[in-house]
Chains A and B, each alone.
Chain A
Amino acid sequence: MTVLPELGLVRSGDLDKVLAAVDYEHAPYAGGTELVPAMGLGLRRPAAIVDLKRVEALKGIEVDADAGTVTVGAAVTHRRLSDHPGVRERLPTLAAAASRVGNARVRSTGTVGGNLCFAEPRSDLGCVLVALGAMAEVRSARGARTLSIDELIVGAFETSLAEDELLIAVTVPFEPAGTSYWKLQSYERPTLGVALVATDSQWEVTVGAATERPTRAVIAAGDAAGLAAFVDSLELSDDMTGPSDYKRSVLRARLQRALGVEL
């Protein structure tokens, strides 16, 4: 029987107090859908958890029509993200992806920040946010910085966050026409995710789930050889969800269908 160890709890509605507490031994906690299983498996053994659920500064969703962006707080749940009218209007692909993350329990409690900061490769949001060129606002007691999601996610289960840093919010440019996200999902998490931003001039292709981190390429529209080379260059995982040649075949079929090219 898995029994979680006894834990300390830091709880405050004040972002500064929360930031003062966060370090390796004091793990940020919101939905717990990533942290709790990791603790159950003994992969994370924090002395205490820092509850973010009461920090209003982490829970906002703001649509800025002038800047053409939506800013989503790190402690926003998948359900709130997918249900938010502004997100549905400006980021319909992200809203749709969030509506299909995990299962109903995960969507009700799991958050955007938890999803990104665990850098689980099989993340729908990571793939879509990299495709959309989203930016992350990160803070610690030492100060603040901004970086792209592409820079935030370094590898499988690895981010560029320092131990005392907390993801505050993600700012996403309004989604251009021609954006789509498709996934193959046979198990609890996606096997393969493909985000596309296709215009008349270029194809931006981001591949996730089967790769260590969302991997993006920009290819001139119609450049089938370039697209094929990108597909062939990807290092795809071999695991219970399928061998890499299977995933590459599915990816190829998806791109052929979505972009109307022969690969």
Chain B
Amino acid sequence: MTAGPRSDAWEKVTGRARYAVDMVMPNMAHAAVVRSERAHARIAGIDRAEAEAVGGVIAVVTADDLGHLGRRFGHIVPDHYVLAKGKVRYYGEPVAVVVAETPHQAADAAGLVWVDYDDLPVLTDSASALASDVLIHEQSYTEPGQEFLGVAPTPSADNAAHRGELAWGDAETALAAATTVVETTATFPLVYGYAMETYNALADWQPGSLHVVSTAQHPLMVRKELARMFSLPLAAVRVEVPYIGGGYGSKSYTKLEPLAAAASWASGRPVKVTTDVEGAMYTTRADGAVVTVRTGFDAGARICARDIDIRFDTGAYADNSPLVLTKSINRSFGPYRIPNLRVRGVAAYTNTTPASSYRGFGAPQGALASELNMDMAADRLGIDPVELRRRNLLAPGDTIIDGKRPLDADLAADLDAIVSALDSHRAAPEPGTLRGRAVAVTASDAGASPISTAQVRMHADGSVTLLVSSTEMGQGSRTALAQIAARELHVDLDSVAVGQSDTRFTPFEWTTGASRTTTVVGLAVQAACADLWDNLRAKAAESAGVPVDEVVVHAGRLHPAAETLTPAEVIRRWFGVDAGEVVGVGVIRRDGATEMLPPFWEIGAVGVEVSVNEATGEVTVEHLVTVGDVGHAVNPELVKGQDLGAATQGLGIALWEEMVYDGEQLTNPNLIEYRVPRLRDTPRRITSVLAERGDGAGPYGAKGAGEGALNPVPAAVAAAVGRAVGVWPTELPLTPPRVWSLLHQAGAG
């Protein structure tokens, strides 16, 4: 059959695609997690006798049972125990795990594990946490060797999990000299990266080996953490990741895998741990943020300085948030000419679900305040907000951050595309509604570390198996990478099979995140294909008895002397039978096209037009315009799908999504009260533009997509609603009652 828009369509729509949650192992047992019912408390005792007496229960595991596995984990700040030890730091934290023959028995017994707590003061807000003498972590975790991508834990005497700063020039002096200074403070909510497949892991520990099947976005990172925890060689730890039912960054790094592995170690059985939506909301969320931006303008409305203060609500454990904060700092000031800059950031521990990576990775938090600030400034300066941006935007090749890759995008052209699309569908407000429109742009240092390996195996009939450890979580990477291989090898897409990520069989990959796969893994695939051609050429030469440099390769055929051979013919001739295969390997590291970091700047460029119901405060997105500034779209439909998905997730943050804490407890740990975007929330009109200017470092000039279209959306919606209502919002999401109170403020003013 033909591949259609994506090569996994058939197995997914017929329900045959395998996900981690579908996986079973012989003699598998089931786990139920006992979660903390306190946000901050010392554990006075755990009584498990009743639970152990339940039929079918194999083990009730607490921190005390874990022996040498009781080490803390955390790839940047090692602050996290597999099971809470001594104290709990958030409501829903795993305290014990029950392993039983059936899920029913495990769940029943989990309800009979009685935990005694001595309550501690609860800090659920980042400002009060930073001001408090009560420490959520009583120690700093500055063990030697703890450093990740240049981000190292810093000693702290307060509830700061991490601090960071970026500055050039003299922002304070420049602000004092500015003609106009505009200040904006905006609150970005605590959001949860809802995915249809919630976190799950199946682990089988045996002496000297560990096999895990899970929903991990980054199997190699998980392997490293598990190898350290179990004192095993990397080769003895096998992490398999089949299709993932949605990642969005929420499944980056280590999540349930240590828990499942520890439960297997303690019970002597393969153990499966699953979560429902509530359990997922107690596992990871995105960093909430309060961001203040002060921008100084000269008399010509040119930016002379920006001073930005970022305060993250990072939750009970640091996870990846120190890196998210670092990136948020880099991404907060926007792709503008800024002669003087100071950005200061702090990630605060609070007694809430730990935060980590989430689509956009710190960019949406900063952009909300800084792009809203541009609209407020335009208003104050009496300039059109698009014109204000045009006047300050960086040009292609300009420096964003000294020492980093120059801007590889044409943002002014992207803005033109947005304005033209918005203008062509202008409409008067319907009676009882107000209208507003806004644009927003962002640039993210994306791509993460350019480290990737790909292997292409060409079989005796010329078909190809492509092996990469990049995980497929719905973004379509297997299709896009297969397209690159097919193009390089001059074969049909149907002739390229892509294996699932499995650390035992697929080669090294840094991560699947930072919108990097098409660019970085794509380069590795190209390199592997080039290596394969070299190998085919050598074999063709050997079989023909001619020097290698006399074999011409053209349009997918090899020409030793006067002959014309297909790759399959070369393979069969060299092996002497209708069998065998030839392998090519491609390795990418910080070298050549990917020497300069970031591998690419990921652009976010959107426009929205909204209408606001004056009676109810309901916001309708009338028109959403996204520009996928991707250099080259390997698969245009997949890029558009990423842009629409990312923008829709941004609309969720802008209008609906928020984890609400009432005291120590999360009040909406379900999808009825935690409102994600639905089909009916889809904008009435969507214009998806692809800007293909070949200006990326990836294959055929490609740059990444996936996160860009989310990053500016919350800011654009906030600005558009502000323009419609006449009062600038300071807090997301803009739920109907919140917009209604803005309308009342406008009426009162």
Binding site for B on A (CB under 8 A): 1-3, 5-6, 103, 184, 186-189, 191, 240-243, 246, 249-250, 253-254, 257
| CB pairs A–B below 8 angstroms (29 shown) | A1-B32, A1-B103, A1-B274, A1-B276, A1-B279, A2-B278, A3-B32, A6-B104, A184-B618, A184-B736, A186-B656, A186-B675, A187-B673, A187-B675, A188-B671, A188-B675, A191-B736, A240-B660, A240-B667, A240-B668, A240-B673, A246-B740, A246-B741, A249-B740, A250-B615, A250-B740, A253-B616, A254-B615, A257-B615
Instruction: Indicate the member of A191, A242, A243, A257 with the most B CB atoms within 10 Å.
Output: A242
- Residues A184 and B672 in contact in the complex (CB < 8 Å), given A2-B278, A243-B737, A246-B740: no
Interface pair A3/B740, CB less than 8 Å apart: no
Question: How far apart sit A184 and B616, CA to CA, in the bound complex (Å)?
Answer: 8
Question: How far apart sit A188 and B673, CA to CA, in the bound complex (Å)?
Answer: 7
Chain B 271-293 near chain A by CB (<8 Å), digits 1 or 0: 00011101100000000000000
- Which of A2, A241, A254 is close to B737, meaning CB atoms less than 8 Å apart? A241
- Residues A3 and B104 in contact in the complex (CB < 8 Å), given A188-B672, A240-B668: yes
CB-CB under 8 A from B33, the residues of chain A are 1
CB-CB under 8 A from A186, the residues of chain B are 618, 656, 675, 735-736
- Given A5-B108, A257-B432, 18 more pairs with CB closer than 8 A: A1-B32, A1-B33, A1-B107, A1-B275, A1-B279, A3-B32, A3-B104, A5-B104, A6-B104, A184-B618, A241-B737, A242-B736, A242-B740, A246-B617, A246-B736, A249-B615, A249-B740, A253-B616
CB-CB under 8 A from B617, the residues of chain A are 246
Question: How far apart sit A186 and B613, CA to CA, in the bound complex (Å)?
Answer: 13
Instruction: Indicate the member of B279, B616, B678, B741 with the most A CB atoms within 10 Å.
Output: B616
CB-CB under 8 A from A6, the residues of chain B are 104
Question: How far apart sit A253 and B740, CA to CA, in the bound complex (Å)?
Answer: 12
Interface pair A187/B672, CB less than 8 Å apart: yes
Question: How far apart sit A253 and B747, CA to CA, in the bound complex (Å)?
Answer: 15
Interface pair A253/B32, CB less than 8 Å apart: no
CB-CB nearest in chain B for A184 = B616
Q: Closest Cβ of chain B: how far from A240's Cβ, in Å?
A: 6
CB-CB under 8 A from A243, the residues of chain B are 737
Question: How far apart sit A257 and B614, CA to CA, in the bound complex (Å)?
Answer: 12
Q: Closest Cβ of chain A: how far from B278's Cβ, in Å?
A: 7
Interface pair B103/A3, CB less than 8 Å apart: yes
The secondary structure that dominates the A interface is loop
Q: Closest Cβ of chain B: how far from A243's Cβ, in Å?
A: 6
Question: How far apart sit A98 and B731, CA to CA, in the bound complex (Å)?
Answer: 35
CB-CB under 8 A from A1, the residues of chain B are 32-33, 103, 107, 274-276, 279
Interface pair A253/B615, CB less than 8 Å apart: yes
Q: Closest Cβ of chain A: how far from B657's Cβ, in Å?
A: 12
Question: How far apart sit A188 and B675, CA to CA, in the bound complex (Å)?
Answer: 8
CB-CB under 8 A from A246, the residues of chain B are 617, 736-737, 740-741
Question: How far apart sit A5 and B432, CA to CA, in the bound complex (Å)?
Answer: 50
Chain B 403-441 near chain A by CB (<8 Å), digits 1 or 0: 000000000000000000000000000001000000000
Q: Closest Cβ of chain B: how far from A1's Cβ, in Å?
A: 5
CB-CB under 8 A from B276, the residues of chain A are 1-2
CB-CB nearest in chain A for B618 = A186
- B568-614 interface with A by 8 A CB criterion: none
- B611-664 interface with A by 8 A CB criterion: 615-618, 656, 660
Q: Closest Cβ of chain A: how far from B529's Cβ, in Å?
A: 44
CB-CB under 8 A from B103, the residues of chain A are 1, 3
Question: How far apart sit A243 and B737, CA to CA, in the bound complex (Å)?
Answer: 7
Q: Closest Cβ of chain A: how far from B620's Cβ, in Å?
A: 12
CB-CB under 8 A from A189, the residues of chain B are 672
Q: Closest Cβ of chain B: how far from A140's Cβ, in Å?
A: 32
CB-CB nearest in chain A for B432 = A257
Question: How far apart sit A2 and B740, CA to CA, in the bound complex (Å)?
Answer: 37
* 8 A-B pairs closest in CB distance: A242-B737, A253-B615, A3-B107, A188-B672, A246-B737, A1-B274, A2-B276, A3-B103
Q: Closest Cβ of chain B: how far from A248's Cβ, in Å?
A: 11
Instruction: Indicate the member of A3, A103, A241 with the most B CB atoms within 10 Å.
Output: A3
CB-CB under 8 A from B104, the residues of chain A are 3, 5-6
Question: How far apart sit A204 and B104, CA to CA, in the bound complex (Å)?
Answer: 51
CB-CB nearest in chain A for B107 = A3
CB-CB under 8 A from A5, the residues of chain B are 104, 108
Q: Closest Cβ of chain A: how far from B662's Cβ, in Å?
A: 10
CB-CB under 8 A from A3, the residues of chain B are 32, 103-104, 106-107
Question: How far apart sit A2 and B736, CA to CA, in the bound complex (Å)?
Answer: 31
CB-CB under 8 A from B278, the residues of chain A are 2
CB-CB under 8 A from B275, the residues of chain A are 1
CB-CB under 8 A from A242, the residues of chain B are 735-737, 740
Question: How far apart sit A253 and B743, CA to CA, in the bound complex (Å)?
Answer: 14
Question: How far apart sit A257 and B668, CA to CA, in the bound complex (Å)?
Answer: 34
Question: How far apart sit A262 and B737, CA to CA, in the bound complex (Å)?
Answer: 22
CB-CB under 8 A from A187, the residues of chain B are 672-673, 675
Q: Closest Cβ of chain B: how far from A47's Cβ, in Å?
A: 15
- B90-115 interface with A by 8 A CB criterion: 103-104, 106-108
Q: Closest Cβ of chain B: how far from A66's Cβ, in Å?
A: 41
Question: How far apart sit A250 and B104, CA to CA, in the bound complex (Å)?
Answer: 46
CB-CB under 8 A from A241, the residues of chain B are 737
CB-CB under 8 A from B432, the residues of chain A are 257
Question: How far apart sit A103 and B672, CA to CA, in the bound complex (Å)?
Answer: 11
Instruction: Indicate the member of B108, B279, B673, B737 with the most A CB atoms within 10 Å.
Output: B737
CB-CB nearest in chain A for B737 = A242
- Which of A2, A188, A240, A250 is close to B616, meaning CB atoms less than 8 Å apart? A250
CB-CB under 8 A from B735, the residues of chain A are 186, 242
Question: How far apart sit A247 and B664, CA to CA, in the bound complex (Å)?
Answer: 27
Q: Closest Cβ of chain B: how far from A52's Cβ, in Å?
A: 24
CB-CB under 8 A from B274, the residues of chain A are 1
Instruction: Indicate the member of B106, B274, B279, B615 with the most A CB atoms within 10 Å.
Output: B615
CB-CB under 8 A from A188, the residues of chain B are 671-673, 675
Q: Closest Cβ of chain B: how far from A138's Cβ, in Å?
A: 29
Q: Closest Cβ of chain A: how far from B508's Cβ, in Å?
A: 33
Question: How far apart sit A243 and B738, CA to CA, in the bound complex (Å)?
Answer: 10
CB-CB nearest in chain B for A104 = B679
Q: Closest Cβ of chain A: how far from B673's Cβ, in Å?
A: 6
CB-CB under 8 A from B740, the residues of chain A are 242, 246, 249-250
Chain B 665-707 near chain A by CB (<8 Å), digits 1 or 0: 0011001110100100000000000000000000000000000
Question: How far apart sit A231 and B103, CA to CA, in the bound complex (Å)?
Answer: 50
Question: How far apart sit A240 and B618, CA to CA, in the bound complex (Å)?
Answer: 15
CB-CB under 8 A from A250, the residues of chain B are 615-616, 740
CB-CB under 8 A from B673, the residues of chain A are 187-188, 240
Q: Closest Cβ of chain A: how far from B678's Cβ, in Å?
A: 8
Instruction: Indicate the member of A6, A188, A243, A257 with the most B CB atoms within 10 Å.
Output: A188
Question: How far apart sit A27 and B721, CA to CA, in the bound complex (Å)?
Answer: 48
CB-CB under 8 A from B660, the residues of chain A are 240
Question: How far apart sit A241 and B672, CA to CA, in the bound complex (Å)?
Answer: 11
Q: Closest Cβ of chain B: how far from A152's Cβ, in Å?
A: 25
Q: Closest Cβ of chain B: how far from A102's Cβ, in Å?
A: 10
CB-CB under 8 A from B737, the residues of chain A are 241-243, 246
Q: Closest Cβ of chain A: how far from B161's Cβ, in Å?
A: 29
Question: How far apart sit A226 and B29, CA to CA, in the bound complex (Å)?
Answer: 66
CB-CB under 8 A from B667, the residues of chain A are 240
CB-CB nearest in chain A for B279 = A1
CB-CB under 8 A from B32, the residues of chain A are 1, 3
Chain B 719-741 near chain A by CB (<8 Å), digits 1 or 0: 00000000000000001110011
